[in-house]
Chains A and B, each alone.
Chain A
Amino acid sequence: MNTQPHNRATPAVPPDEPVHTPSLLARMLDSDLWHSFVRSPVTVVSAVVALLYVLAALCAPLISPQNPFDPATLDLMEAFTPPLQANAFSGRTFWLGTDAQGRDIFSAILYGSRVSLLVGVAAVSFAALLGIGLGLMSGYLGGWVDALIMRIADIQLSFPAILIALLIFGVFKGIVPPELQDRVALYVLIVAIGLSDWVQYARTVRSSTMAEKNKEYVQAARVIGVPAPLILLRHILPNVMGPVLVIATIGLALAIILESTLSFLGVGVPPTQPSLGTLIRVGQDFLFSGEWWIVLFPGLALLILALSVNLLGDWLRDALNPKLR
């Protein structure tokens, strides 16, 4: 123990308190969040599933048996091969069967998840950035800026996200010349989903900004001339990260579902880059002729992805809000 004379003179610091602070990892492993994570097997499983999913999607070109969207690798003779049965002509078997063009469903799912995850993550980031920015502005500036932003938020919130996204898509189709549409469709999709989902971030950030900005330490920072953007970043933002993380996690599941829904409705990603929703849209027709695997497996993949993200979000919300145990 450190027994320097000046230390004894200041009894405000209890002498038996360890001087060093534990490392970040050690603090993480001792946090309530980590404990509640390890305590919940469902959460651990869904975290592992989500992680595997992300890995598989990232490494799709490496692990998938074929590139499902390269026409050269497809053989029409292999079309409609049921799962785990040898094809009558080539003798090859496919884990999850093949579709109408002899495409391996497993590979198609891997590539499709890639698109779904990409759009989901990008849309959530877009929505979060937009929402946090507008929320900070609204809460910090107040006045007519606040009134305007919150009015727009109110109006938008009373319409379901799917409608907003469809509308943005309709506008896009009317403005962008047809020959360019396929190339920018993915970005439009991301913006459409992001724009339909910023309100919650903005509301949450706004209310904690308003609560925080009148606290003394923020006032003090303002008095000594710290510029407003710096105050917002340094003092206010860290306070809202918890709820924002919860909204973003649940938002990711919603964005993935919304993307697949738009693609299913035929207004989402272009057919050259099919997502899980596109696969289901295409496979739906074969349900009536008994080729159930073409639609069922992509559907299952979508469900597992959305479910594991939702479970994570649910756990996070409960863990960060002990009152709602």
Chain B
Amino acid sequence: MLAVILRRLLQSILVMLAVALVSFGLFRYIGDPIHNMVGQEATLAEREQLREHLGLNDAVPVQFARFVGNALRGEFGISYRMARPVADVIRERLPATLELALISGSAALLAGIALGVYTALRRDGWLSHAIMSASLIGVSLPTFLIGILLIYVFAVELKVLPAFGRSETVQLGWWNTGLLTASGLKSLILPAITLGLYQLTLIMRLVRAEMLEVLRTDYIKFARARGLSDRSIHFRHALKNTLLPVITIAGLQIGSIIAFAIITETVFQWPGVGLLFITAVQFVDIPVMAAYLVLIALIFVVINLIVDLLYFAVDPRLRVRRTGRGT
């Protein structure tokens, strides 16, 4: 088991290096970093000095090694647009995105599993059909449209929830939270629904399909033939086997929520890293783009590792060495 985890860890490091390479390529070759840092009025000598100072004249592998070294310390240079260290800007913005993603992700996961199990067990009921139809609409509704519709109904027409921003936040160390004030919680509702709805429908459809698959297996038939109660068959035998493959995909879904937050944050002007990234793309603020890329990759890799560990916890076939074989 330890060997498998070590191999996974190694793979993760390789993925991170690949992403860092892309990120470094962006930084080094898109536009001229010097041009972006100093103004038009800098002399040629000044530019050359800065170039030397930044190490841009070194061999490329040396530069890449330095880039990785800096990235490990969380340093990604200075934002072209804001003229501030990228790390500082991201640190300010990250809590907003993480709070939004965590809340909406866990809500989507719980509701998605519940609805998926329900629609699989009552597959011919009218409510299941209604939920499935609604889910197809959910998949076809672009996230930004959901956000706009929610704003129109709840903020413009009913005027019960704020249309944009985080409202009041509380500073806890460097973490700036909106979860401790009533207005902060209220302004979280619409963005969280917007962000979670799509993931919810995906998870629900996935759980339903897996559950139907499991309900057709021999061991479920055998469990029925032994007269076990429906309750035990559905929730003890079928659900566990259903959730096994769901863990992987749900993990990836939850990870992608961070990236999908770009859209939601734009619609609601939510001051998170997604909004930061989209502005960076528009203004070709390469250091911010590079840093965001590495950050997202890191989050994905961590989630993947957690998923692997969860697998070990749930599936005995991975956990236990094969013993006592023979007839």
Q: Which residues of A are in contact with B by a Cβ distance under 8 Å?
A: 155, 158-160, 162-163, 166-167, 169-171, 173-175, 253, 257, 260-261, 264-267, 277, 280, 284, 287-288, 290, 292, 295-296, 299, 302-303, 306-307, 309-311, 314, 324
Contact = CB atoms under 8 A, between A and B. Distances in A.
A33 B136 CA distance: 21
Contact of A174 (B152, B284, B297): B284
B148 A284 contact: yes
Q: Which 9 A-B pairs have the closest CB atoms?
A: A174-B30, A306-B140, A307-B140, A160-B256, A170-B281, A163-B259, A160-B259, A257-B142, A264-B144
Contacts of B31: 174
17 contacts: A159-B297, A162-B259, A163-B259, A166-B262, A170-B26, A171-B26, A173-B282, A174-B284, A261-B143, A264-B263, A287-B152, A287-B156, A292-B152, A299-B149, A302-B142, A307-B136, A309-B140
Contacts of B145: 280, 299, 302-303
B156 A267 contact: no
Nearest to A173: B284
B141 interface: yes
B143 A166 contact: no
A257 B263 CA distance: 12
A167 B140 contact: no
Q: Which of under 10, 10 to 19, 20 to 34, or 35 or more describes the interface residues of B?
A: 35 or more
Interface string B114-139: 00000000000000000000001101
B167 interface: no
B277 A280 contact: no
B282 A266 contact: yes
A265 B148 contact: no
B266 A307 contact: no
Interface in B268-327: 277-278, 280-282, 284, 286, 289, 293, 296-297, 300, 304
B136 A158 contact: no
A265 B278 contact: yes
Contacts of A307: 136-137, 140
A207 B151 CA distance: 45
Contacts of A290: 156
Given A158-B304, A174-B286, A311 B136 contact: yes
B225 to A, nearest CB: 22
B265 to A, nearest CB: 10
Nearest to B133: A42
A310 B152 contact: no
Interface string B231-273: 0000000000000000000001001100110110011000000
A324 B143 CA distance: 28
Nearest to B30: A174
Contacts of A306: 140-142
A307 B281 CA distance: 30
B71 interface: no
A166 B277 contact: yes
Contacts of B297: 159
A253 B140 contact: yes
B259 A261 contact: no
A38 B110 CA distance: 37
A171 B137 CA distance: 33
Contacts of A175: 30
B102 interface: no
Contacts of B286: 174
A19 to B, nearest CB: 42
B82 interface: no
Given A261-B143, A264-B144, A265-B262, A163 B281 contact: no
A296 B157 CA distance: 14
B163 interface: yes
Contact of A287 (B18, B19, B136, B148): B148
A162 B289 contact: no
Contact of A169 (B144, B260, B281): B281
Given A158-B304, A280-B145, A310-B139, A267 B296 contact: no
B140 A162 contact: no
Nearest to A164: B259
Contacts of B15: 155, 158
B209 interface: yes
Given A260-B142, A287-B156, A267 B282 contact: yes
